[in-house]
Structure formats: C-alpha cells, structure tokens
Amino acid sequence: MAFALSNMQLESSAFQAHGSIPTRHTGEGEDISPALSWSGAPEGTKGYAIICHDPDAPLVQHGSYGFVHWLLYNLPASTTTLAEGSSDGKSGKNDFGKLGYGGPMPPEGHGVHHYYFWVLALDKPTDLPEGLGLGEMLKQLEPHLLGMNRLIGTYRRG
C-alpha cells in the first residue's frame, strides 16, 4: 500500500493540531514524549508504530531530509493511547543517535519548526528489534501498512 492518509485521528492532550508543543516536551524542557491517543483505525489493524519527524530541519542524512525525533514500534492493536513519557513498545534510533524520544530543539534563530507525529496502522503485529533507524523501520513496516495519519505541532527555540 502506498503511504496515504486514512481516516484515523491522532491527538494529544499536550497541544492542539498546529499548536505550540509545550517546552516540557522539548530539549529545552524535560524532554519527555507527549501523551498521544488515536481512533478510527482501519479494519484489520493488528499493530501500530509512531514516528515524530521535523521536515524543517536543515539536514539531509540517510538519504532523506529533516530530523527524526522518535521511532516507536511493536505496539499491539489494543494500544490506542500512549501516556506522557510512555515506555510502551520498542524504540528505534532517533537522529540524536539515541533510543526513544528526543524532543524538539531547532537551531537557535531558525524560527518555527513543524513536528509531524505519525501513527501507522499495520495488518500484523510486529516484533522488530530495538534500535532500527527510520529507513529500516519503514522497509519492514510498509508492506503491512493499512492506514496512517498525523498530528502536527510547532516549536520555536526560546
């Protein structure tokens, strides 16, 4: 299946769509992942994955642009919420070179960046090893993608 938006809805109690991400969830704050919840998964969904990506980052690396802040996978179909700072699932390697969530921290004076929090619905449960990068994660998940949608938040470094 091609990467295309579905009718799934993704939201956060920490910020509204296109709203400012609280400092608490950034590299200037406590650097903990925001709470997320989603609904409307396609029929047959057996698992989920989460990506947070900043396409405004002035970087080209690993053959793609932007900056990966969070990769989370191996989430079962029963998971439709992640608490703030959740340790559910397995973590991939973000572009800080670490596992787990790394919050927004755009370069000083770079203006507002947009952070795309994606939820991917999959047609099978996954058991991927911890530490995958974005490319390898997507290679493994794309054949099983049923639907996806995103929540966009913004942040400007103080």
Residue 42 has what pLDDT? 94
DSSP state of 25: G
pLDDT in tens, 13-25: 999 999 999 999 9
In angstroms, what CA-CA distances link 103 with 27, 63, 70, 84, 144?
5, 22, 8, 12, 28
Angle CA(11)–CA(15)–CA(16) in degrees, nearest 5?
65
Q: Which of 27, 46, 55, 26 is nearest to 118 (CA)?
A: 55
Q: What is the mean pLDDT of the chain?
A: 93
pLDDT in tens, 37-49: 999 999 999 999 9
As a whole number of angstroms, the distance between CA 73 and CA 123 comes to: 13
Would you state the structure tokens that stand for residue 156, as one six-digit string?
A: 């400007």
Residue 64 has what pLDDT? 66
Please report, for the chain, the start and end positions of each structural domain, with discontinuous segments joined by +: 10-112+132-146
Residue 158 has what pLDDT? 77
pLDDT in tens, 66-97: 899 999 999 999 999 999 999 999 999 999 99
- CATH hierarchy code of domain 10-112+132-146: 3.90.280.10
pLDDT band at 127 (very low <50, low <70, confident <90, very high): very high
As a whole number of angstroms, the distance between CA 88 and CA 90 comes to: 7
Residue 1 has what pLDDT? 44
pLDDT in tens, 104-118: 999 888 899 999 999
Q: What is the pTM of this model?
A: 0.94
Residue with tokens 């947070």: 52
In angstroms, what CA-CA distances link 52 with 45, 48, 62, 150?
21, 14, 16, 9
